[in-house]
Chains A and B, each alone.
Chain A
Amino acid sequence: MKRRDFIKQSSLASSLFFVPSFVKAFETATKNVLGYKKLVIIQLSGGNDGLNTIVPYTNDIYYNNRPALAISKSNILKINDELGFHNTLAPLKNLYDKGYLSIINNVGYPNPNRSHFRSTDIWHTASDSNVYSNTGWLGRYIDNHGKMPYSGIEIDDSLSLILKGETVNGIATKNPAVLNRNMRTPYFENILKQQTDDHLSEHNLGYLYKTMIEAKSSAKYIFETSKTYNSTFTYPQNPFGKQLKTTAQFINSGINSQVYYVSMGGFDTHVNQSKRQDKLLNVYAESMDIFIKDLEKSDTFKDTLVLTFSEFGRRVKQNAANGTDHGAANNVFVIGKNLSKPGFYNEAPNLLDLDKNNDLKYTVDFRSIYATVLKNWLEVNDGQVLNKSFKTLDFI
């Protein structure tokens, strides 16, 4: 038996000790079905300015529209004769050079919404922009694959729509020890101890008991499993670095969870963008660099795919406050070991052909990326999770 499998099974066993048999049945049933591939979704929350991230440094329109904001040619890590990285992204450029990064340009959806809330909902639910859905696409994934709260983990303290399913919800934690402690309160610990499962019904009361029991056993399972791995890497001292460190700990300790969601804040740069974005991109790139090294060392990188998106890009033209306003299409980063099309997946943004708000038009529907990940990476029925069929791409 492999070490990871052993840890998985023994910690599961110990967490099952006080758990009613119906939960036990859940866990043994799902353990064998779940694949070993991991998916980490990262949201650059607030709307990252993609044009100052992957820079069209030979395009005059770009420079004309951003007199105070455009990145000068000398500060670009050039990739080809059109595009280059913002120089704070050197660690990301390294991943690119190794063939671990694929950049998909012009990703968006029809009738783009420019509200953070709404557009985030749309990306989380994978719905059309005029449909209000109650479930997220990762939530629907764990509805069908995993079926326990810990099957999908958000590295935060409260759960986002992306991990809410129809019958199962993921769980949020950025510190498993705290989560485990929070779950333990004498007032209901005593009650749960007394529970047998034979009378729990499908009605709301049964649902509440079941959710509480599963939440508690999930918290315990995550805590006990994750503490079997301690990273030897030094992550950047900032909250995002910490989030990625926790994610690596979950993956490397072999938690039986396939999907992770991390939100990194701060990208809503309406005012004095340059300095702020420089720092943000640097935090992102340096943390990501260590994260990938951490996974590589445990040989889990080959089984992990990292997808980074923003709810929207920003307007081509800068505003009067040396910042940028909410835009539409944006780039998406895919990081993985065996990408079938590393480098630029598609054409650079077309700054001559903007929409009526003067924002970038999309040429790749983000749901095509989801469909590709579901079908080719997680190897499940993408139509079932997305409630619709989308053209798949060939980046993995």
Chain B
Amino acid sequence: MKASYLTHLYSRIGFGLNRKGYQSLKGISKSKIVDAIFESSKAPIPLKIDLSAYDSFVSMKSKNNAKNNQALRKLAQKNRQDIKQLNYAWLDRLRDTDQILREKMTLFWANVFVCKDNNALHIQQYNNILRTNALGDFGDFTKAIAKSAAMSKYLNNKQNRKDSPNENFARELMELFTLGVGNYTETDIKEAARSFTGWAFKKDGSFFLKERKHDNGIKTFFGESGNFNGEDIIDIILNQKQCARFICAKMYTYFVNPKIDEERLELLTNLFYKDYNIENLMRHIIASDWFYDEKNRGVKIKSPIELFIGIQNIVPVNFQKKKQLLYLQKIMGQTLLYPPNVAGWKQDRYWIDSNTLMIRMKLAALLLNNAIINIDIKGEFEDSFEVYYAQERKKNQFLKVASNWDNFDKTYGTLSQDVLKSLLIVSKIDKDTEQFLEGLSTKDNKEYMIQLMSLPEYQLC
């Protein structure tokens, strides 16, 4: 496969191509590379942090007494810390994994089945549902999501009972997860909500049905009638070709091009509609010739996480103050596990405004060249006045990171600058900038690399 195709492929299914990857893959045929990508992502490895403190909570009888309440308060505090730990662990996973495609797809699905929760155990389970099903059967995937404790809370399905249905989950299931606005009726929402009544979860996060809260009446959904339950509803949604089209459009804008080619989308839709097998769809996309067309290369604006992990794909860094990881994610506008709302992050150009672009353009210098940063993060809604503005006192921050330069010198030290450039920049390079780069006299590859990572072109993948 051509070098430019390789870097394109890996910038989409992963976070770019480093030298090691480049050397092991150059000269190998596309079909072999594609096979190897799926082979290495075959067996999911769940992301797990130490949550043994929750065992006692899970077995605790839910009695309302002072001792229990105190334990619960303590646990709630621990939860907040653990969710941060999970955030750091996820970032580490993205940086270190060999299951490149599976992890990239997990990130993708996290912005389709958007969810947030303040229970670390449940959000960890949720995150692993995304990971386990990332390349699997879309129907099973959707059902697992619908049964998860985190989603049940996030979209109020746990309050959805026969005598007082809550339509929130049913609505977002169709509007944001499977069909898109305008492709169902208000009656469909009401009937779907009835079918999901009584869906509940235990403290350990496992699903069960509260029979007495479930509506066993006849529902009419997309023209079909029967005593449907939630799984039936998801099956009927899958029967709508619009569902395949909706997911393919999301896949296309994420993995191929933010501008959709309608004809291409229709072909993908036909393919996906046959079996809703995500791996088959993904394999088809990256095995296609058109995926490598020039118009699809280097045209997508990286998400903050893609940018951050991409830099680390070349030079891994370790944060000595883990909190600064949250700080960075916040000022760039994407904090993992904390999506803004159920619609998720808007992508591509929506990542960019004057303030975020400035910090994104500076990111490489911040991580790798001790540049100074002077940006305060906003406080939280729940903060007191003093805490809300607490960040004010910190001026001129450095990121306290340890970068692995030894490895860089060994791997990239003697590489030609042209090859370095072709590894890092997948988009076309602006005419004037190309001239500027040619005029650069630096012989130091470290300096040259930071310069490349500080180009607007590096914002694209």
Contacts and interface: CB of A to CB of B under 8 A. Distances in A.
Contacts of B361: 185, 187-188, 212
A266 B383 CA distance: 6
B212 interface: no
A132 B172 CA distance: 11
Contact of B348 (A130, A204, A239): A204
Interface stretch (A90-98, A175-183, A295-303): A175-183
B283 to A, nearest CB: 27
Contacts of B3: none
A276 B460 CA distance: 47
A121 B352 contact: no
Interface in A185-204: 185, 187-188, 190-191, 194-196, 199, 203-204
B301 to A, nearest CB: 5
A120 B340 CA distance: 11
A134 B456 contact: no
Contacts of B341: 117-118, 121, 132
A45 B354 CA distance: 24
A211 interface: yes
Contacts of A361: none
Interface string B201-241: 00000000000000000000000000000000000000000
A66 interface: no
A187 B430 contact: no
B392 A199 contact: no
A226 B123 CA distance: 47
Contact of B349 (A174, A182, A190, A204): A204
A194 B385 contact: no
A205 interface: yes
Interface in B347-399: 348-350, 352-358, 361-362, 364-365, 371, 373-379, 381-389, 392
Contact of B454 (A172, A185, A214): A185
Contact of B354 (A47, A207, A215): A215
Contacts of A118: 341
A237 interface: no
Given A159-B355, A183-B358, A265 B346 contact: no
A280 B384 CA distance: 10
Interface stretch (B101-109, B303-311, B431-439): B431-439
A208 B433 CA distance: 13
A171 interface: yes
Interface string A262-292: 0111101000000010011001000000000
A169 interface: yes
B385 A283 contact: yes
Contacts of B300: 204
A149 interface: yes
Interface in B279-317: 298-301
Residue from A157, A164, A214, A283 whose CB has the most chain B CB atoms within 10 Å = A157
Contacts of A268: 381-383
B180 to A, nearest CB: 12
Interface in B393-450: 427-428, 430-433, 435-436, 450
Residue from B350, B357, B376 whose CB has the most chain A CB atoms within 10 Å = B357
A209 interface: yes
B379 A188 contact: no
Interface in B233-270: 258
A360 B233 CA distance: 37
Contacts of A238: 385, 389
A279 B353 contact: no
Interface residues of A, number: 59
B377 A157 contact: yes
B455 interface: yes
B377 A191 contact: no
Contacts of A178: 374
Nearest to B436: A194
A172 B144 CA distance: 41
A74 interface: no
Nearest to B362: A185
A117 B381 contact: yes
A51 B387 CA distance: 24
Residue from B349, B355, B384 whose CB has the most chain A CB atoms within 10 Å = B355
Interface string A144-182: 000001000000111100001000011110100010011
Contacts of A279: 385
A312 to B, nearest CB: 11
A50 interface: no
A382 to B, nearest CB: 24
B355 A157 contact: yes
A375 interface: no
A205 B352 CA distance: 12
Nearest to B452: A187
Contact of A132 (B343, B362, B373): B343
Contacts of A215: 354-355, 357-358
Nearest to B171: A130
8 contacts: A46-B382, A46-B383, A156-B378, A185-B362, A185-B371, A187-B361, A188-B454, A239-B388
Given A185-B361, A207-B349, 8 more contacts: A117-B341, A132-B342, A158-B355, A205-B427, A205-B456, A265-B378, A266-B383, A268-B382
The 5 closest A-B CB pairs, nearest first, are: A265-B388, A266-B385, A187-B454, A215-B354, A116-B381
